[in-house]
Amino acid sequence: MSRETIDRRRFIRATGAAATVTALAGCSGGGGGGGGDGGDGGSESTPPGEDVEPADSIQYVGENTPPTKALRSITDRFTEETGIEVEYTLQPLLNYTETVASDLTSEAGNYDAMYVDPYNIGAPYYTDLEPLNAYIEDNDYDYEDHIEIHRIACSEYEGDGTIRGLPYDCPTILLAYRGDVFDEYGDQATSDLGFEAEPNPDMTWSQYMEVAKWINENVPDDVVEYGTGHMAKQHQSLANEFEMIQWSFGGTQLEGFDGKDPILPDDISAGFTDDASIEAAEFYQELVTEVAAPGSTTWNWSGVAEAFAGGNLAMAPEWHEFNGMFADPEASDVADSVRWTLAPTGPAENRNVQSHYGGSSVGINRHISPEKKKAAWMFIEWATSEEVQTELLKQAGGTPTRQSVYDRSEVEEASQMPASESPMPNVVPPILEGWDLDNVGQRPHHPDWLQLEEVIYSEGSAMVSGDQSAEATMQDCADGFSNIL
């Protein structure tokens, strides 16, 4: 990895003012009231009082994800209720990251409300986001209704209860598999292998690989081509997938961090060279290079989704929100047979992680006027409400973060239906079980995580391409982390 890549975030900070000129040129509403009461980055704020009239328009910037596209489609309802116009700027992840980072560090205030990816934006720039505790209290906003993992992973960065965003979306890696394959061949596979072959919460990664091998060798290609496929392209997807496996084996990327508490001590150091991480790397290398579909080294999460929807894979770890695609007969050849379970566990004595959390929040730019802050709060309060989350779920545009939505009878009924029959396919996977704190893994809130994670997928790509051993890869990851830290 080049030094220029490693220092990318620092470069953005150093050139924020210049970069914002570009951001302004592409921002359809112009300036957002920069120079507002930005404060000193502390954990307290005073919401605009009753004497402050909300601005009549705001700028929202975010990643072009399905939840936000669905939200945009119904934002006219918010405008009708409040009179506040919302103009959207939606971009791919890295473009969005640069746009928001430039705006926050320059304090230009071109964007008022924003999608807050916890790793690309939240961890490095949380002091530029408005603390929301007083807003929540003053408006009787039911923050505790958001499920605990969402609050921990997406909204809080300082360890003192300061809230910098409202939980908004929550893609999570679980295990998708084809029920028709296991209905027809599962009994024979179980008999031959000596354990339950159909994926289930008690399956280990080693068993998973044995089942994939069995399918490769015993199930005709006209039924399914490969037992499994993986998102092992040199891309963030590889890092996400390997992180989950590494955590499940008990391995560490940072000393003392096992995929659980995202708030890190100040003196954190590189991991990777522990025995569990090396064992996980050896496993992943064998799985991708010797068992999985050959296309795995060219696929990110979208490539795996397309292969699974096309009927080419019997099993695949995947972000659960692809179930809307899998369950759609017009987009999927497996709509009638897709099933989900938790991802496999590590060795039997270490059931640390069986899902990988990837959610985000929505927040308010700290460097805008009181009028803009008031309007932005009204918007993010509405966007994360029970009613709107339910509507986005019905559009297969998002997955609720609020427990109250799951408690609705129509949602509970939809979650028990087969994927192809459910009007709300995003709740068909065992998502609530995946979010249990005993099962879920999450990345740490480290300000350089974007660069640290690039080390993982760059070195991991060399490993699954056959260019270096698993042990050497873990040492190179440790060295790369140490250089950045």
pLDDT tens-digit series, residues 175-210:
999 999 999 999 999 999 999 999 999 999 999 999
Residue 4 has pLDDT above 70, yes or no: no
Give the 3-state secondary structure of residue 175: strand
Residue 358's pLDDT is: 94
Tens of pLDDT, residue by residue over 6-56, are 333 333 333 333 333 233 233 333 334 444 444 457 778 899 999 999 999
Residue 248 has pLDDT above 70, yes or no: yes
Starting at the edge strand found earlier in the chain, the sheet holding 85-91 runs: 85-91, 57-63, 113-116, 360-364, 166-169
Other C-beta atoms within 10 Å of 245: how many?
24
Q: Rounded distance, CA 228 to CA 176, Å? A: 10
Asked if residues 446 and 452 have their Cβ atoms less than 8 Å apart, the reply is: yes
The structural domains of the chain, ordered by start, are 3-170+360-407 (3.40.190.10), 172-357+439-484 (3.40.190.10)
Residue 397's pLDDT is: 83
pLDDT bracket for residue 349 (50, 70, 90): low
**Per-chain mean pLDDT for the chain:** 91
Q: Rounded distance, CA 370 to CA 374, Å? A: 6
Average pLDDT over residues 271-298: 97
Which residue from 197, 193, 192 is spatially nearest to 182, judged by alpha carbons?
A: 197
Residue 15's pLDDT is: 33
Asked if residues 214 and 193 have their Cβ atoms less than 8 Å apart, the reply is: yes
Asked if residues 362 and 166 have their Cβ atoms less than 8 Å apart, the reply is: yes
Residue 65 has pLDDT above 80, yes or no: yes
How many residues are listed for the chain in this entry? 485
Q: Which range, of 42-51, 124-133, 235-244, averages the lowest pLDDT? A: 42-51
Residue with tokens 């496993």: 283
pLDDT bracket for residue 434 (50, 70, 90): very high
CA within 13 Å, CB half, 415: 18
Q: What angle do CA 452, 114, 253 make, to 5 degrees?
A: 15
Tens of pLDDT, residue by residue over 314-343, are 999 999 999 999 999 999 999 999 999 999
Residue 7's pLDDT is: 35
How much of the chain, in percent, has pLDDT values that exceed 90? 85
Residue 399 has pLDDT above 50, yes or no: yes
Q: Rounded distance, CA 275 to CA 472, Å? A: 13
Residue 26's pLDDT is: 32
Contacts of 398 (CB under 8 A, 6+ apart): 66, 67, 70, 71, 168, 169, 321, 389, 392, 426
Residue 139's pLDDT is: 96
Residue 299 has pLDDT above 80, yes or no: yes
Q: Which range, of 34-48, 53-67, 354-368, averages the lowest pLDDT? A: 34-48
Q: Output Rg (C-alpha) for the chain, integer angstroms.
A: 23
Sign of the torsion angle spanned by Cα atoms 421, 426, 429, 432 = negative
**Straight-line distance from the first to the last Cα atom of the chain, in angstroms, rounded to the nearest whole number:** 15
Other C-beta atoms within 10 Å of 336: how many?
15
Average pLDDT over residues 415-430: 95
pLDDT bracket for residue 266 (50, 70, 90): confident
Residue 43's pLDDT is: 78
Distances (CA, A) of 463 to 233, 289, 310, 345: 11, 9, 28, 22
Residue 104 has pLDDT above 60, yes or no: yes
pLDDT bracket for residue 239 (50, 70, 90): very high
pLDDT bracket for residue 265 (50, 70, 90): confident
Residue 37's pLDDT is: 46
Q: What is the dihedral angle through the alpha carbons of 370, 375, 377, 382, rounded to the nearest 10 degrees?
A: 170
Average pLDDT over residues 292-320: 97
Residue 226 has pLDDT above 70, yes or no: yes
